Amino acid sequence: MNRGESVSFHTRLNLVVLLVLCLSFSLSSCAVLRAIKTRLPKPHPSPKGILFQYDAPAARQVNLAGNFNNWGGTQGGGRFDPNIDPMVPDANGIWKIYIPLPPGRYQYKFVIDQVRWEQDPNNPDKAWEAGFENSMVVVPEGVKYDVPFLSIASSLDDVSRPRSARKVEVEFFLEAPDAKKVYLAGGFNDWSADEDRMEKDEQGVWRIKILLSPGRHEYRFVVDGNWIEDPQNPNTVGNPYGGVNSVIEVSE
């Protein structure tokens, strides 16, 4: 190889190295731009409700699931329902949904293509439920929307209840011998505190029988004006007010 050929070879080699470096820089720049693009804000109030967002341009469907919608129909052993809170994508592949949640703490995940359950990558706030870590959103007191608040109890009841016209008689009871008045309240009576009055027997146990549709129902007792969960029922779910509701599964 003469001197001229050597110079030409090194020139070509330098050009190849330069092209490789440019390509690497371009790819890394795209990754950086992509990371910036996916840095979405946490769920936050808007006039339409709490805005949830998830970046998934390749997804065919994304649903929002949380303890405000029976985890997409799966809580209590149910099956995932893709018709519950489907999100809508914009032109950039950002899926969005507005949920008018009342003040409280809520856990949630995104369900991608009915298979993958993902935490919110843009929300560092986490909480645990039934052994699973979930993303968490805190809706502040005084939040205002242009639409009515979502009724959490009614929503859960509607989501989980099978479409059946058949009613099943269920007896509720509470041992409270010193109580003056006890009422049963739940999603089945719009959480009325004075509609379904219970009767006390000779042993000081308050009882009532009501007809319920097969499915999942939440309830509490109102004892002399105080709301309490059922002390004999270990099945509970958090409510928007910092307490828990008792849960009963009614079979056909």
Per-residue pLDDT tens digits for 16-29: 555 655 555 555 54
Contacts of 116 (CB under 8 A, 6+ apart): none
Same CATH fold assignment for domains 44-139 and 152-250: yes
Residue 43 has pLDDT above 60, yes or no: yes
Looking at CATH, the fold of the domain delimited by 152-250 is given as Immunoglobulin-like (2.60.40)
Region 112-123 average pLDDT: 95
Which residue matches tokens 């507005």?
Answer: 98
CATH superfamily of 44-139: Immunoglobulins (2.60.40.10)
- 82 φψ region: left (φ > 0), alpha (ψ -120 to 50), beta (else): alpha
Region 12-39 average pLDDT: 55
- Residue-range domain boundaries for the chain: 44-139, 152-250
Per-residue pLDDT tens digits for 188-224: 888 889 989 999 999 999 999 988 888 888 999 999 9
Lowest mean pLDDT among 34-43, 54-63, 175-184: 34-43
Residue 109 has pLDDT above 50, yes or no: yes
Q: Within 10 Å of residue 45's Cβ, how many Cβ atoms?
A: 18
Region 112-125 average pLDDT: 95
C-alpha span between 248 and 39 (Å, rounded):
41
Region 60-76 average pLDDT: 88
C-alpha span between 160 and 249 (Å, rounded):
10
Q: Which two tokens stand for residue 180?
A: 């003056």
Per-residue pLDDT tens digits for 148-187: 777 555 455 544 444 444 678 899 999 999 999 999 999 8
pTM of the model: 0.51
Confidence band, pLDDT 50/70/90 cuts, at residue 87: very high
